[in-house]
Amino acid sequence: MPNWTFLTNHGRTLLCIAHDPEARLRDIAADLGITERRAYGIVNDLTEAGYVVKEREGRRNRYHLQHHLPIPDIEDREQAIGEVLEVLTGAKTIKAKGKATKKAVR
């Protein structure tokens, strides 16, 4: 088993949120095999960078991905983060009445 991963924990966190925008930090941490504190730090990094918007719903957060933003560190290409997430999740993002929704690609 290799001791490296294809995606960073930040990328894997984006995938978790893409699959379940209502995921708890506890769930993200368990999926990634990291601590809740580390998951909190990663989500905050993504929020501060503008890739994730947090919306408070009662006692929980709902996360909205900003699909239109470019992938960091790839300045010469105009690849949006949403395009990469579509490939990795198998879901196509569709704009409907100002909101982005996901549709499974078959």
- HSE-up of 10 (CA within 13 Å, CB side)? 14
Residue 20 pLDDT > 90? yes
Share the mean pLDDT of the chain.
82
pTM over 0.85: no
Residue 88 pLDDT > 50? yes
Helix, strand or coil, per DSSP, at residue 16: helix
Tokens of 5: 């991963």
Lowest mean pLDDT among 20-24, 31-35, 70-74: 70-74
Domain 9-104 has CATH 1.10.1760.20: no
At residue 24, the pLDDT reads 96
- Hey, where are the domains in the chain? 9-104
Helices (H) and strands (E) in the chain, counts: 4, 4
Q: Are 65 and 17 in contact (CB under 8 A)?
A: yes
Look-up of token digits 């997430």 = 85
